Amino acid sequence: MKVPLSWINDYVDIKDISPERYAEDMTMSGSKVEGVENTGENIEGVVTGRILKIEPHPNADKLVVCRVDVGDEVLQIVTGADNMKEGDFVAVAKDGATLPGGKIKKGKLRGVESCGMMCSEDELGLQEERAHGIMVWSKETPLGMDIRDYLGLNESIVDFEITSNRPDCLSVIGLARETAVTLGRDFNVKTSCVRENGGNIKDYISVEVKDERLCPRYSCRVVRNVKIQPSPEWMQRRLEACGIRPINNIVDITNYVMLEYGQPMHAFDLRTISGKKIIVRTANESEEMTTLDGTRHTLGSDTLVIADSEKPVALAGVMGGENSEIADDTTEILLESANFNAVAVRSAAKMLGLRTESSSRFEKGLDAANTIPALERACELICEFDAGEVVSGIIDVCAPLRPNTEIPFNAEEINSFLGTNIDKGFMVETLKALGFQINGDIVEVPSYRGDVEGMADLAEEIARIYGYNKIPSRLYTGTATIGAKNEKQHAEDLVRSTFTALGLSEIITYSMTSPQIYDKLSIPRDDYIEISNPLGEELSILRTNAIGSALEALSVNYNRRIDEAFLFELATTYHKGGENGLAVEKQQIIIAMYGNIDYYNIKGILEQLFEVFGITAFDIEPETSNPIFHGGQTAKISLRRQTAAIVGRIHPMVAKNFGIGKDCYAAAIDFDLLLKCIKLDKKFRHLPKYPAVTRDIALIVPDEVTAAQIENIFRKSKSGILENYSLFDVYKGKQVEEGCKSIAYALTFRAADRTLTDEEVNAAMDSILSELDKKLGAKLRL
Amino acid sequence: MKQQLNEIKQAAVAALGNVSSKAELESFRIEFLGKKGRLTEILRGMGKLSAEERPVIGQMANDIRSFIESEIEALSSRLDMQLLEKKIAEEKIDVTMPGKRQPIGKKHPLTKVLDELKDIFIGMGFEIAEGPEVELDYYNFEALNIPKGHPARDTQDTFYINENVLLRTQTSPVQIRVMERQKPPIKIIAPGRVYRSDAVDATHSPLFHQIEGLVVDKGITMSDLKGTLDAFCKKLYGDKTKTRFRPHHFPFTEPSCELDISCPACNGKGCRVCKNEGWIEILGAGMVHPRVLQICNIDPQIYSGFAFGIGLERTTMRRYEIDDIRLFYENDLRFLLQF
């Protein structure tokens, strides 16, 4: 909320405080200042003047030469304007003056000296659009007066960020009260004085409230013999400072009072109200209404409206109707000052897409006690401006007001909650200044502070005025706790450190994706979770598979001409069927790579991860039917008979769908399953004391026999002395019969307690070879 | 014979002077010490000597043999050294040429900064808690004192799955879940993804990360909140960092505050980074609202606590001076490899 400091000053004397200090102090007591704008900051050397004489320019038809009295001298000024006459008052930028548009210097215009410039409204920065002619007025004005003083431009406008719990501070009076308490000064609000002018409001209007829960209070007055005209300059200027466009005296007064009292008001043209009756009711289903901004709305049955006997004339608390708008020829008005239910206004404003100054106040919950003071203030201003005659009487339809909250007050309790030693006297003074009543050890909360409900709220009131920064700082002294990561969190760290050491970089991708990701992956659409109000189709579902996200990251890098990309993500996927209608959230480790690599590079990375996790045994078999992957270069890895990972080359069509023009590889690992199999509990093994015996064997096996099948037989070797095996050659071609391949391993044998004899090794070899022959038809290549 | 031996010795010394390679040295060895070498030849005539002469001549011959052998050895190692030096000279390279690098991967910058935060809080005795991202309205709002129709729901534009299920807009629901299942003392941080339906731009992302913190125990005061967060800021931003606790409002804490630190870029003097304020807002915090404790069946008459929430993206952006939040999710390696 923007407020000119001069307005605050109407209630608290702050003339002696710089805007900067004011902003700092208010921020630290809880009314955060977002910024201070000083109007007239870029105007200097502009004064009031009076045109004494206007003469034609000797050399130009469109220019005139004026003699202008600026108090201490008379200046000759040449101008092209034609909207002034002798005797008019004007704003004169003297030689050397500064305007928002730049500096003014004296010079010659078509050969005649001009010692300054008479300014227009736009040249003074008072309006955006170009003015027609210069600014002139006829009201007697002292000459030579700084134009900023004359126009009230030497103003500091403070922009407050008001938190949602403090609707009372969406008003000048509320902020003035905060100011007074913050600075320890007096705060005064005068009671408004309304001059009633006879008649009886009941002859003009009656009010019926259908649901007092939705409209706890409806107060109004009638004004007759209204004269619609512009409101005074000072009021217009204050409204503009607060970001509200002046319209006419009546509308301006309702807006002004809203800003001052925080109570939104509305004025209806009484002649448009049928049946002399105001009915506050919910709209009929599909009832229509056009609001002041010219928008036609179709209303729902839960929208609260102000209606007459025939039609809605306003959206309660949101915006007035076009049909009852104040016009230039309006003569009788109904001034509404009502209290509407916060939730009802919020949902109506949200549904209709109309957020107004009024609705944003009501939706935070306003004080029903405030309707009458605001109404009286508006009528006081009407009297003051001679804008109409206030008809005698007020209509005030009011549900029983909520009694003020009472809270037990215990200074000790507050101090021990805050960790302070604040004097009880200070607490009492602070609460009183904020409008609380103290009756012994009970605090009565003022009606405008609906946010204060208990001890903690009182503690905050006291603490923020005392100063948060004066509260001592101590490092937690309670029960000692042991901070640590759990096993899963450690495992996550391990994944990251292993992969980064292997040259992979971590990516973080969105959890939301498009249903089309399944088409790009060429897999059927999963039963995914949909967002009911997504930002757009491309982020409308929660991913059930994170490979797509990683391929998108590869694509970004490929399209930016990065030679190789080795990426991984610890990704969450979201699946239907969790408890209480929530998702089952699973963790996947994704690897995605392109560059100077092949299938065995990515498989190696996977093996190394498994090794780090202490997982030495797993089943691996070719995976030929996963549509995301290349049918000939993909494997499925299982742990405990469950699929733990898919690793392989991305199907060329899928790569193409993602716009990746290189062979790319990916792996998806079930992190949750991996966690169940993790074995990080390492035990030292003695270094070998006896030598190893190495035997190389080359096997001829049918093409379809896999290394995994062979190695499985090695692993199951019963000799107990096969320490290690490693594949060193695969060969097809001459000397190997058609349909077969040669596959060569180096086998290392060792015993922990003795040097092996040839016989022992031969026996072990024989048993392995016969097993290979029996199970896989493998022959030793001679 | 004596003379012959002396001649051999002299001849050997002379011949050695001309040896300049290992091959020549070998020929020299064969010439003098080989089976048919000169020294061997002479010794064959030993049989003709008298019994008195034999040991004397024998001794002399052995001395000459060891002399030649040791000369050979010395020369041999000199020759080796020369060879090596030559080789080293030949192997000269341009040592200023670029080194060959091992590929190295990087953790995501968000992970790096989160790791730092985790370390700091673990050091202060915090555990790391987790909670679901697809969350019940109850945990995300209701139990945090934000009932339906509360204006705070507007400021957190929420993605809904259905009326009761949403994508959490904050990590605060983890507070409730932890308090429901664990009795005090509680001391946790809960990092994680949160979602708000903000259109993407340089400072907004529909997905970002928060780190929630919660401490509940007997006798926890606002003073503990200040001490803990002050220590955290000094750890993360340096010992000279000043902190400022500014009143604010959150529905689930009371009193509530925002924590500003003195701008690390200008030490609080005012600069572009802090918009000339000298302070930078880094987190929101407060004393756990008694109603929130009650909702979790923790008696606010006995226990109290504080909570805080830190935005990871903003913290990381400040740390590395990153000016566009979108970079975090594009995953361009030229970005990722910088950290």
CB-CB neighbours of B65 under 10 Å: 18
A196 within a domain of the structure (yes/no): no
What are the pLDDT digits (tens) for A488-502? 999 999 999 999 999
Q: Per-residue confidence at A122, pLDDT binned at 50, 70, 90?
A: confident
- pLDDT score at B155: 65
CATH number of the domain that residue A92 is part of: 2.40.50.140
Long-range contacts of A624-630 (CB under 8 A, 24+ apart): A627/A521, A627/A522, A627/A523, A627/A651, A627/A654, A628/A521, A628/A522, A628/A523, A628/A547, A628/A654, A628/A666, A629/A654, A629/A666
Query: Which member of B135, B224, B247 has the closest CB to residue A464?
Result: B247
What are the pLDDT digits (tens) for A386-409? 999 999 999 999 999 889 999 999
- pLDDT score at A132: 83
Residues of B (5-44) whose Cβ lies below 8 Å from A: none
Q: How far apart are CA B309 and CA B312, in angstroms?
A: 9
> Which residues span the domain enclosing A84?
44-151
Last residue of a domain, one of A343, A373, A398: A398
pLDDT higher than 90, residue A548:
yes
A227 within a domain of the structure (yes/no): yes
Instruction: Please list every residue in chain A whose beta carbon sits closer than 8 Å to the beta carbon of residue B107.
Output: 496, 500, 505-506
- pLDDT score at A121: 85
Q: How far apart are CA A544 and CA A523, in angstroms?
A: 12
- pLDDT score at B43: 78
Residue A169's identity, in one-letter code, is C
Mutate to test the interface with A, among B102, B107, B120, B134 (most CBs of A within 10 A): B134
- pLDDT score at A333: 96
Residues of B (58-97) whose Cβ lies below 8 Å from A: none
Q: How far apart are CA B19 and CA B23, in angstroms?
A: 9
Flag if B206 and A30 touch (Cβ within 8 Å): no
Query: Is the distance from CB of B179 to CB of B186 less than 8 angstroms?
Result: yes
Q: How far apart are CA A779 and CA A607, in angstroms?
A: 28
User: Any chain B CB within 8 A of the CB of A340?
Assistant: no
Query: Is the distance from CB of A379 to CB of A192 less than 8 angstroms?
Result: yes
pLDDT higher than 80, residue A476:
no
Examine the domain organization and report whether A289 and A411 are in the same domain: no
What are the pLDDT digits (tens) for B39-95? 888 777 777 888 888 888 888 888 988 998 999 999 999 999 999 999 999 999 999
Nearest CA in chain B to A580: B136
Structure tokens at A243: 């970001």
Query: Is the distance from CB of B186 to CB of B215 less than 8 angstroms?
Result: yes
Last residue of a domain, one of A435, A470, A505: A470
Q: Which neighbouring-strand residues pair with A629?
A: A650
Nearest CA in chain A to B130: A489
Instruction: Report which listed range, A42-46, A111-115, A442-446, is most confident.
Output: A442-446
Examine the domain organization and report whether A159 and A147 are in the same domain: no
Q: What is the mean pLDDT of residues B285-305?
A: 96
Q: Per-residue confidence at B156, pLDDT binned at 50, 70, 90?
A: low
pLDDT higher than 90, residue B38:
no
pLDDT higher than 80, residue A128:
no
CATH number of the domain that residue A579 is part of: 3.30.930.10
A761 within a domain of the structure (yes/no): yes
What is the maximum span of chain B, computed from C-alpha positions, in angstroms?
131
Examine the domain organization and report whether A244 and A280 are in the same domain: yes
Nearest CA in chain A to B115: A493
**Domain tally for chain A?**
6
- pLDDT score at A130: 82
Q: How far apart are CA A660 and CA A653, in angstroms?
A: 10
Mutate to test the interface with A, among B279, B333, B335, B336 (most CBs of A within 10 A): B333
User: Any chain B CB within 8 A of the CB of A463?
Assistant: yes
Q: Is the dihedral of CA A699, A704, A709, A713 positive or negative?
A: negative
- pLDDT score at A380: 97
A321 within a domain of the structure (yes/no): yes
Residue with the bigger pLDDT between B37 and A504: it is A504
Examine the domain organization and report whether A62 and A179 are in the same domain: no
Give A291's DSSP letter. B
pLDDT higher than 80, residue A184:
yes
pLDDT higher than 80, residue A589:
yes
pLDDT higher than 80, residue B154:
no
CATH number of the domain that residue A451 is part of: 3.30.56.10
Query: Which member of A343, A482, A565 has the closest CB to residue B149?
Result: A343
CB-CB neighbours of A617 under 10 Å: 9
User: Any chain A CB within 8 A of the CB of B173?
Assistant: no
Query: Which member of A468, A477, A539 has the closest CB to residue B257?
Result: A468
DSSP string, B264-327: TTTTTS--TTTTTSSEEEEEEEEEEPHHHHHHTT--TTTEEEEEEEEEHHHHHHHHHT---TTH
User: Any chain B CB within 8 A of the CB of A750?
Assistant: no
Instruction: Please list every residue in chain B whose beta carbon sits closer than 8 Å to the beta carbon of residue A475.
Output: 224, 227-228, 231
What are the pLDDT digits (tens) for B244-257? 999 999 999 999 99
Q: Which neighbouring-strand residues pair with A745?
A: A697, A727
* Mean predicted lDDT score pLDDT of chain A: 93
What are the pLDDT digits (tens) for A334-388? 999 999 999 999 989 988 888 899 999 999 999 999 999 999 999 999 999 999 9
* Interface A-B: count of C-beta contacts within 8 A: 255
**Residue B153 main-chain phi, psi, to 5 deg:** -65, -25
A684 within a domain of the structure (yes/no): no
Examine the domain organization and report whether A29 and A65 are in the same domain: no
Chain B: give the shortest CA distance to residue A560, in Å: 8
Flag if B290 and A343 touch (Cβ within 8 Å): no
Q: What is the mean pLDDT of residues A520-547?
A: 94
Query: Which member of B159, B221, B256 has the closest CB to residue A533?
Result: B159
pLDDT higher than 90, residue B267:
no
User: Any chain B CB within 8 A of the CB of A366?
Assistant: no
- pLDDT score at B310: 96
Residues of A (571-590) whose Cβ lies below 8 Å from B: 572, 574, 578, 580-583, 585
User: Any chain B CB within 8 A of the CB of A481?
Assistant: yes
User: Any chain B CB within 8 A of the CB of A161?
Assistant: no
A479 within a domain of the structure (yes/no): no
Residue with the bigger pLDDT between A458 and A152: it is A458
Query: Which member of A163, A557, A580 has the closest CB to residue B249?
Result: A163
Last residue of a domain, one of A380, A398, A416: A398
Q: Is the peptide bond before B255 cis (omega within 30 degrees of 0)?
A: yes
Examine the domain organization and report whether A611 and A650 are in the same domain: yes
- The reply to whether the predicted model has a pTM over 0.80 is yes
Examine the domain organization and report whether A414 and A542 are in the same domain: no
Nearest CA in chain B to A497: B107
Chain A: give the shortest CA distance to residue B243, in Å: 9
Examine the domain organization and report whether A588 and A699 are in the same domain: no
Residue in this structure with the two tokens 């399209």, named with its chain if needed: A559
- pLDDT score at A487: 92
Flag if A486 and B222 touch (Cβ within 8 Å): no
Nearest CA in chain A to B232: A475
Enclosing H/E stretch for A196 = none
Q: What is the mean pLDDT of residues A432-439?
A: 95
Flag if B289 and A456 touch (Cβ within 8 Å): yes
A505 within a domain of the structure (yes/no): yes
Examine the domain organization and report whether A664 and A740 are in the same domain: no
Residue in this structure with the two tokens 């009565």, named with its chain if needed: A444
Q: How far apart are CA A95 and CA A106, in angstroms?
A: 5
A688 within a domain of the structure (yes/no): no
First to last CA, chain B: 85
pLDDT higher than 70, residue A627:
yes
Three-state secondary-structure class, residue A312: strand
Query: Is the distance from CB of A6 to CB of A158 less than 8 angstroms?
Result: no
- pLDDT score at B55: 86
Residues of A (488-517) whose Cβ lies below 8 Å from B: 489, 493, 496, 499-512
Instruction: Please list every residue in chain B whose beta carbon sits closer than 8 Å to the beta carbon of residue A541.
Output: none
Three-state secondary-structure class, residue B71: helix
Chain A: give the shortest CA distance to residue B151, in Å: 6
Smallest CA-to-CA distance from A118 within A50, A167, A202 is with A50
Examine the domain organization and report whether A31 and A77 are in the same domain: no
Examine the domain organization and report whether A380 and A248 are in the same domain: yes
Three-state secondary-structure class, residue A512: strand
Instruction: Report which listed range, A177-181, A397-401, A717-721, B276-280, is most confident.
Output: A177-181
CATH number of the domain that residue A748 is part of: 3.30.70.380
Query: Is the distance from CB of A203 to CB of A402 less than 8 angstroms?
Result: no
User: Any chain A CB within 8 A of the CB of B230?
Assistant: yes
User: Any chain B CB within 8 A of the CB of A535?
Assistant: yes
Q: What is the mean pLDDT of residues A637-666?
A: 96
Q: Is the dihedral of CA A39, A42, A45, A46 positive or negative?
A: negative
Chain B: give the shortest CA distance to residue A336, in Å: 24
Residues of B (310-329) whose Cβ lies below 8 Å from A: 328-329
Smallest CA-to-CA distance from A51 within A40, A41, A65, A37 is with A65
Instruction: Please list every residue in chain A whose beta carbon sits closer than 8 Å to the beta carbon of residue B148.
Output: 343
Examine the domain organization and report whether A385 and A295 are in the same domain: yes
- pLDDT score at A280: 96
pLDDT higher than 80, residue A129:
no
Interface ipTM? 0.86
What are the pLDDT digits (tens) for A294-323? 999 999 888 999 999 999 999 999 999 999
What are the pLDDT digits (tens) for B92-137? 999 999 999 888 999 999 999 999 999 999 999 999 999 999 999 9
